[in-house]
Structure 1
């Protein structure tokens, strides 16, 4: 099936992470030009860019920094002249791991505000920055990566879950705000706990619990989540917009 991605320019934020890598590889396999962003781990995205070849280029992107979205978009437009797809995959975790025994009201202000503001404002700010280029070409796809924690919840994840839930509301309204300007679609992909090459400790600790909730009795891997992301971001998707697509193995 031709997904109509050959020659299109795709930004994948957080491409140094396990899921981001799989998403970037998926778009590259369909012939897209892929912008790989990273915050700290440049070596990981450079290795990935080497695998993809001359259709990939690497840009540092700190989603919490002032004017970061504008700088990223300007750099991509200078090189490619267009932005067709944005995958908001980057995430900023807190400085400590979620603690289910901690009281959410005891989390220091600097900690919870950073998690909430950086994740929400980073994704929304970059969506705002790419929108004019998509409206100009009357074509575009936004795919926001959420988490099943946004609807299922878990003690210790209150602020991360709140940030991800915000993407659901934004994407739904953005679908209406963009749809009148052409073939521009906005959707959320909501994975559950997913097995990647960078989250082994989390999978070891909690994988059994989440696998037992799935009809498949297993966790999905990164490629299984990346497939729906690539489809939603492609020209083959002509009618799915404003939706939250759960890719959780049925959990």
Structure 2
């Protein structure tokens, strides 16, 4: 079963700014209804929803809170209709600043848990809240956001990368279980993006180095990664599930 993107209602976690906002704009551009989830970025999420028009709205919830997620989904159903697509983009507070990263001798388990609670726990909470709607229609699309640091940990962001590695495993096990319901589950993994709030602390010299090592000769933008997310929600990806698509201009392969 497949449906055009213009016929979909999409929930984007962490959708108020950065990559999430680019994904929201991409879906809105194609005519989808867009539910913009935020935790603290109310002003940005409300402004984005207003800019996208009547088919978009902002909804508050901490994705690590199962009850808050359930309430949010109920609100989305009432306002926009049952979500057909989940894009789990929410990220625990993080800054891609190699000089300030936690080194192994100082890294705590709590830091890894914090990232994993948002990456994997947030995905779990959202899937559980959306599953009845997916099952009722025999259709659903889940897209998680990963990282090419799994293939090339050029900067060892231990907590962030470990959480995304766990999320890739969960993406694949969820694809196995949800497939019989007509639900696909895939991951889109970016590299360093120019520019999001998380990458704003990255020195310009690092962007230049990445661009110089990339076959396309430039750093990927949030808008370019957002278009890859659209693919997994589109009819063209109806037979693709459990996959990890790396969108980084060819910096890494795999």
Aligned length: 249
Where structure 2 has 5 or more consecutive residues not aligned to the other structure, the ranges are none
How far apart in 1 are the matches of 2:150 and 2:210?
Answer: 15
- Rounded to whole Å, the distance in 2 between the matches of 1:239 and 1:76 is 27
Partner of 1:146: helix, strand, or coil?
strand
When residues 203 and 179 of structure 1 are mapped into structure 2, their CA distance, relative to the original with a 3 A threshold, is farther
Cα distance change, pair 109–246 in 1 and its aligned pair in 2 (3 A): closer
Name the counterpart of 2:186: 187
CA–CA distance in structure 1, aligned partners of residues 101 and 58 of structure 2: 39
Q: 1:239 to 1:194 in 2, by over 3 A?
A: same
Name the structure 2 match of 1:212: 212
Which position in structure 1 is the counterpart of 2:170? 170
User: Contact 1:32/1:55 (CA < 8 Å) preserved in 2?
Assistant: yes
Alpha-carbon contact 1:100-1:154 (below 8 Å) kept: no
2-structure distance, mates of 1:96, 1:196:
11
Q: What whole-Å deviation, never above 9, does each CA across 1:173-215 have from its counterpart, x for those lacking one?
A: 2222111112x21100001111135333326252122212210
Task: Write out the 4+ residue segments of structure 1 that deviate beyond 4 Å after TM superposition.
Answer: 94-102
**Counterpart position of 1:21:** 21
Tell me the TM-score normalised to structure 1 length: 0.90
Alpha-carbon deviations, 1:13-44, whole Å to 9, x = none?
Answer: 11122111111011011111100011111111
Cα drift, residue 68 of structure 1: 2.5
- Cα distance in structure 2, aligned partners of 1:192 and 1:155: 11
The one-character-per-residue Cα deviations of 1:146-195 (angstroms, maximum 9, x if unpaired) are 1111222245411110111112111112222111112x211000011111
Moved more, 63-72 or 45-54: 63-72
Counterpart-to-counterpart distance in 2, 1:89 and 1:178: 20
Matched residue, 1:116: 116
RMSD: 2.3
Matched residues in 2 for 1:156 and 1:100: separation?
11
Cα separation, partners in 2 of 1:60 and 1:181, compared to 1, 3 Å: same
Q: Which residue of 1 aligns with 2:87?
A: 87
Alpha-carbon offset, residue 239 of structure 1: 1.5
Aligned-partner Cα distance in 2 for 1:215–1:92 = 31
Kindly indicate whether the alpha-carbon contact (under 8 Å) linking 1:94 and 1:111 is maintained by their aligned counterparts in 2. Answer: no
Structure 1, gaps ≥5 residues long: none
User: 1:200, 1:155 → 2: CA distance?
Assistant: 16
Q: Distance in 2 between matches of 1:145 and 1:166?
A: 12
Question: Once the 2 structures are TM-superposed, how far is the Cα of residue 241 of structure 1 from its aligned partner?
Answer: 1.1
Of 120-129 and 91-100, the range deviating more from structure 2: 91-100
2:228 matches 1:236: no
